[in-house]
Structure formats: C-alpha cells, structure tokens
Structure 1
C-alpha cells in the first residue's frame, strides 16, 4: 500500500534568524518575550529549549519548535518576513511528504496501488490548498489593527474548525477569565489578563443620544493574536467545555 509520511515541520531559532536577517541572540530574545506573553505553560509547550554546536565547537542555547511556533514568531515581524517564514514552512512540509512504495506482485495490485496513489495525491493537493487559504486569511486578520468583534471572531473560528457561536464564545471567555463575569458596568469587558496579553482590546465610540447627551459605546474586540491563541487552545488543547452556571 502507498503511505505518506506526515509529521510536523521542525525549525529552530537559528532558522528564523537566517530567514529574518537578525542576529540569533535577538531572535532568542523575541522567543523569550513571546513565552512570557503567552505564559510559561503555553509558551514552553510551543517553544522547546535546545542547543547547537557553533563554529568554535562550543555548545550554545537555541529553541526548537514546530509549525505553531514558527507562525507565532512570524506574526511579530513585517509582512515580507512573514511571507518568507510561510514559504519556508511550505518547503519543509513538501519535503516531508515523501511517498514510500511496496512493489506490487500482481497486475491487479498494481492497478489498485495506482488508483490509491491518484486519490491520495488529490487529497494532498486539496489539503495544501486549504492550508494555504487559512494562512492567507490568518495573515490578513492578524495584520489588521481593528481585530474582530465577538460575533465576527466566532464566525472566523467556525471557518477554521471550531464549532462555536457568538453566545457560546462569550460564555467560554467569561468562564476562562478572559471576560469579566461579574454583573455590572464591566460585564463582558476584557479582563486585565486579556488586555495585558494583547488578546483583546476595547473599541470605544462616542455618539450623541436623542437628548443631545454625549455617550460612549464600548465593544469587545478580539485581536489577531487573540484569534490565533484561542483557535490553538480549542483545536490543540480541546478546551471547548463550557463551565456551569455562567
């Protein structure tokens, strides 16, 4: 039978330094800052400490990570650099998709193997195209200063494999401490944790009511970084269980 080898791409901070044209020590600093922003529990799952031997035959520290880590770092840089990182990921994924064949012993087995090969190649092409579209869409949103309201965030998450709606997302965010759950003026507003991590922000719009009094309408906005963060938690951590009595 024809089988495709599938594994997560593996990159290091040295690879990123080469791609972005920065000194390795500066990329190491970027990664440490990212781990601090994500929180050590999440950050250390994405970025793993490692080492390498330099040209002076000395062991030096570095980080290694998969596609998630590479994309997380890419979001810190400009559009051209993000494009270079994404292209490198695509190259690594293409190199990993090496078919292994067992030679058929009969003409019938050869025909079956050929049919399976065509089917798998079609599926692979479709998966690559789907991934490419998701990367382009994620890139477009994460580079936007505006972000998305909760309803738009829920729609975007559904497009990326998370079965969730507006109201359910509000409940989950309150239950996980990303939105204020205490009834009052700050109800459903981002907590300090969300603001500090850059996952959400408050969009304030001034307007005059029917009596001519100046009012302020505040809306919760999920940032591009927040979208990637929450989708990763839902898809990889399975954190879609809603708390009770919210």
Structure 2
C-alpha cells in the first residue's frame, strides 16, 4: 500500500495554465518562468510539454504539465499570496488523487488487470505514435508564430533580421548552422522530401527572450 501511495504522489501534476489562472499571471509569463526553471535545473522541458486546444478559437498552444516538486520550485519566487493559492490547490488535488488509490490487494490487482487490458488494446497504435513522438516536441514557424500572436510571414521576417535563416538558400527556409548547433532548431524532411525548419523547446525560449529584449513583446 505504501508503494501505491508513493506512485500516486509522484504522478500528481499541475499545468502551467492552471498556475497562471491561480496566480493571475499571463500564461506566457508562466511559460517563461518554467523555461527559466528548466534551464537552471538543466533538465529538458520536452517531457513536460503538451498541447492544449483553445475551446473558442480551436488553436493549439503549448503548456507544461509540472510534477509537484517542480510546481513548488517554480512558485518559490512568487509572493506569499500567490504561493498560498497554488499550494492550496495542490493539496486539494492530493486529496482527490489519494481517494483513487486502491485500498486493498484485490483492488490493486484489478487495477493492474484493467491497465494491462488497455495496453493490449492500444498496442497497434504504439508504433504509429512512436514515429510521431520526435516531431510532437518540435514546432514549425506557423505554430510558434501563433504563440506570439503574429502571422508566419511577419514572424519569419523578424527571424530573418536576426540572421536565423540562411539567405543563400532560395527555395524555402533553412536554419543557419549556428542555430542548429546550439540546439535551437532542426531540419526535418517532409513527406514531399523538402527540408522544413522546426524549432525545439530551447529554440522557443531563445525566440521569447530575443523578442523580449528587442521590445517586440
């Protein structure tokens, strides 16, 4: 039983969007705080990123699903009032999560059997999703531009002024080698065989910091 409670505790998470709602901060500022935290801890943010679809405009945005220890680390620099709101919500989630823990060995066995059945049914999909996993953590210029509320055309013009793209390539856009070497972007082949520039999460952070320093956002 102790092990089950430990696993449940480790699985407790909170999204960056919920943290923004609880603290009254803009989500883009919470995302910035998350990226800075990931950088300081020297951990990859890719495992915490997930897509969120806006219920009104249908557009997809990135948010981070943080474990309890990362949530507590993130809000350390926030005011006491804001920390209290987040911690109070964490405790509520803990209570709710604890109620779902099996209370007997028989319940634990049934839970394991149910999960095994789900894995068996999902098996044909595993290869397909594995093939997409690498690209899901990357974003093209259009997707990243949406986060900054800009068109892809305007977004790319700004990046061109920062020497992100190789101007010697006339057909399509290709990252400069320095951008790739720093892990800010990758070139992925499309179904038609063309090279498509894709931004990593580290690249997203670089763009955010660059735009902020230049007064663009």
TM bucket (normalised to shorter chain) is 0.3 to 0.5
Q: Which protein is bigger by CA-based radius of gyration?
A: 1
**Comparing both structures, which one devotes a greater share of its residues to helix?**
2
Q: TM-score, normalised by structure 2?
A: 0.41
Q: TM-score, normalised by structure 1?
A: 0.36
